[in-house]
Amino acid sequence: MVYIYYMKITHLLSVLLVTLPLIAQAQATVVRVQNHQIYLDTSALKTPVNKGDSFKVILSSEKLTNPKTGKDLGLVYNYSPVGVITEVQPLYAIGKLPSETGVEIGQEALVQTAQPAPQAAAATQAEKSEQPKVSLHKKISYQPVEQEIVSLSSADITAPGAENIVTLSTKGRISVWNRNGEELKEALSYQLPSGRTPLALSAVPLRGKDTAEIFATVYDDRLARVRTVVLSYENGQWTTLDTLPYFVKEMGCGSEKTLWLQKAFVSGTRPGNAHNVVYQNGQFGPGTQELATQRSWLMGANRFPFADNNSLQLIYTTSVGRIKLELPRGKTTEYKDFSVGSPNRVKYKQEIVKFYPSLQVVESQGKPQVAAAENTTKYGLLSSTFGQYESGKIHFLSFEKGRLTLQDTVALDGFVYDTACSDTAVLTAEVLPDGQSSLVEILK
């Protein structure tokens, strides 16, 4: 009898574990405060918010340090009293706090949401998943280098036909690499001035030479301005050809690459429309071609004739990290099953500006596919807020029947700041847990 009773109890616990929802915390931003009512931006949350969910606002934080060893133990948070979600809309939710506690716009709130039970969640994932278990793309990973790489390109720099990989590190080091089996050998390097945050790197031949110019875009922390330094390696030395007051980024693959620029901070933290870069009368500057980027940065944007061979459609990363495609006649489609994540960011006038990894459009079996990077945050609810990531993936999306569809996924060992595209592969640099980077080629 005791054995039978034990089995019944075990079975009952198993049923409860399967059927009861799990409680998880999601992070939302306070966008409006009206007395006790708090408006929260929930557009980026993966778990739906429901009426009756509880929440609390992070009012402040303080660094906790061991006074004897000086070891950083993390942050201690000061929270508001617990409130309740009273109204849910598609992109925001309204919550009510028991009292006015000095909540301000821009602060983060932790919302306790109910996740599906494990059994139901597994069934739902099985129904939704389009991701194959084994990647269809071959991946080549090179031995790690002692740099944290934020952007990269592929071009002939050292000599015609060299097909160098060019990288930009968090410390402003530009490196030109030669492939040597599974290793990369640094052939050239150039150090950008200090006090500048590296943002993007491109390499395109615009002067009619056999080798390409390098365009390194940085953010001047002191002047709060974006600048692009144009470099060339000629006759055994580096030459600074120009400094442009624009954000510059390449689009396209290999020999088909084009170069674009846009004026930064035209509307608050948003940039202006893009123009092609031309070289005329010994200077680099904007050309006559214009590209409306929907106020998104050139990093995280591209264009291709997805739906109409007579015109180019813009595909870009939205402010919340979703992939969106502009279609003819004012139609759009958005892929919502993952958010990109932006480790590369700067502070501009008390606001955080995010630079998403580039989107690459490659052709596979005669059809275009979009290569988009997804970064997985480190453990902790505030990891995405501070751009802290630990691993990444490259997803390949196709455009079929009026929507974006997941075709393949390549898993990475580290997270990525940016991607690039050569004639044969999608390039990225995975930043590993020890701070080193491994260059990865994902063959088309």
User: What value does the mean pLDDT take over residues 381-395?
Assistant: 81
Q: What integer pLDDT is reported at residue 381 of this predicted model?
A: 59
C-alpha 178, offset from chain centre: 27
* Range name among 24-38, 224-238, 271-285, 303-317 with the lowest pLDDT average: 24-38
Residue 383 pLDDT level (bands cut at 50, 70, 90): low
Would you say the CATH fold of 139-443 matches that of 28-114? no
**Banded pLDDT at 291 (limits 50, 70, 90):** very high
- Is the model's pLDDT at 130 over the cut of 70? no
* pLDDT at 399 > cutoff 90: yes
Name the residue with higher pLDDT: 171 or 379: 171
CA distance 214 to 305: 28
Would you list the DSSP string of 188-219?
EEEEPPSSEEEEEEEEE--SS-SS-EEEEEEE
% of the chain beyond a pLDDT of 90 = 62
Q: Pairing state of beta strands 351-355 and 247-251?
A: unpaired
With contact defined as beta carbons under 8 Å apart, do 383 and 356 qualify?
no
Residue type at 8? Answer: K
Q: Domain ranges in the chain?
A: 28-114, 139-443
What is the amino acid identity at position 183? E
State the Cα–Cα distance between residues 209 and 223, nearest whole angstrom.
Answer: 34
pLDDT band with cut points at 50, 70 and 90 for residue 280: very high
* Mean pLDDT to the nearest integer, 7-13: 40
Please state the rounded mean pLDDT for residues 362-367.
Answer: 78
pLDDT at 132: 46
Q: What pLDDT, in 10s, does the model give residues 66-102?
A: 887 777 777 788 888 888 999 988 888 999 988 777 8
Give the closest residue to 255 by CA, choosing from 177, 178, 179, 163.
163
pLDDT, residue 98, reads: 84
Write down the CATH number for the domain with range 139-443. 2.120.10.10
Q: What is the pLDDT of residue 99?
A: 79
Give the CATH H-level superfamily of domain 28-114: FlgT, C-terminal domain (2.40.10.410)
Residue 336 — left, alpha, or beta (φ > 0 → left; ψ -120 to 50 → alpha)? Answer: alpha
Please determine, for residue 215, whether its predicted confidence score (pLDDT) is greater than 60: yes
- Is pLDDT larger for residue 333 or for residue 126? 333
Indicate if the alpha-carbon torsion angle 404, 409, 413, 419 is positive or negative.
negative
Radius of gyration of the chain (CA): 24
- Neighbour-count burial for 284-317, b at 16+ CB within 10 Å, e otherwise: bebeeeebebebbbbbbbbbbebbeeeeebbbbb
Scanning the structure block, which residue is given the tokens 């129904």? 127
Q: At 157, is the pLDDT very low, low, confident or very high (cuts 50, 70, 90)?
A: very high
pLDDT at 382: 65
Q: What is the mean pLDDT of the chain?
A: 86
Is the pLDDT assigned to residue 55 strictly greater than 80? yes
Check residues 180 and 380 and name the one with the higher pLDDT. 180
The Cβ of residue 438 has, within 10 Å, a number of other Cβ atoms equal to: 19
Nearest to 112 by CA among 220, 26, 210, 214: 26
Contact present, 436 and 145 (Cβ < 8 Å): yes
d(CA 63, CA 94): 30
Query: Is residue 22 scored above 60 in pLDDT?
Result: no
pLDDT of residue 158: 95
> What does the alpha-carbon distance between residue 259 and residue 394 come to, in Å, rounded to a whole number?
23
Please give the Cα distance from 157 to 178 (Å, whole number).
10
